[in-house]
Amino acid sequence: MSEWKTVSLRQELIKEIEEAIRTGRYRSISEFVSEAIRLRLEDLMRAEGISTEKRKELLSTPELLLYTPKHTWAQMTPEGNIRVGVSDYAQGHLKGIAHIMTETVGKEISKMDAFGVAETWMFMFDLYAPISGKIVKVNDQLKDKPNVVNEDPYNKGWMVEIKPNNSLVLEQELKNLLSAREYNKMVSKLEGKLRE
């Protein structure tokens, strides 16, 4: 493809994105891009004949999440919020979760502030925010069934959704989180130290 066509297409795409943001369909370019990627992945999986259930499962796999060193994960939702939960490693050390307490909707929090506590019969584990922003959703299902976190930490066991304050700050905060590979490496080191 010639250079002028590439530039022209790029400018058209930028205009479409700006229009989508201006009309309120998306709140930021990152929200637009994450939705575009998710839709493309869904199309590819649909073409391969993968069932709806399996597509949902694949799109929320732990490998696509970002992690804090404090064992919470972050996932961008189609609305541009960041959904937060605890890692499988953390829930494995929190056997028999008896209670999940989180801050309420509307609460402003900063990155790495505690937004709640997971309580087992033996101890309490602080839950840390991967990004700064305002809590806009709380998983009410966990009030009656906190053990869902043990059964399904990456899907039904999510805890809160945080609306980022600012897309530039969000971008920087997300860059500072760990990829699945980096997180697994950290956990392997932790496990090695625990066994010594």
pLDDT the model gives residue 105: 96
CB neighbours of residue 32 within 10 Å:
19
108: domain range?
A: 64-195
* Residue 20: strand, helix, or coil: helix
Q: Is 16 exposed, middle or buried (0-12, 13-18, 19+ CB in 10 A)?
A: exposed
The secondary structure element, H or E, covering residue 137 is strand 133-138
Which tens digits make up the pLDDT trace of 74-113? 998 888 899 999 999 999 888 889 999 999 999 999 999 9
Which tens digits make up the pLDDT trace of 113-161? 999 999 988 889 999 999 999 999 999 999 999 999 999 999 899 999 9
Q: Are residues 18 and 103 in the same domain?
A: no
pLDDT surpassing 90 at residue 65: no
Q: Enumerate residues 6+ apart whose C-beta is below 8 A from 58.
A: 41, 45, 50
Domains held by the chain: number: 2
Kindly state the average pLDDT of the residues 23-38: 60
> Using CA atoms, how far apart are residues 21 and 91, in angstroms rounded to an integer?
38
Q: Are residues 84 and 181 in the same domain?
A: yes
Q: What is the pTM of this model?
A: 0.68
Q: Are residues 10 and 46 in the same domain?
A: yes
- In sign, the C-alpha dihedral spanning 20, 53, 46, 73 is positive
Phi and psi at 32, nearest 5°, equal -60, -50
Kindly state the average pLDDT of the residues 45-49: 69
137: domain CATH number is 2.40.50.100
Q: Are residues 156 and 82 in the same domain?
A: yes
> Using CA atoms, how far apart are residues 139 and 156, in angstroms rounded to an integer?
9
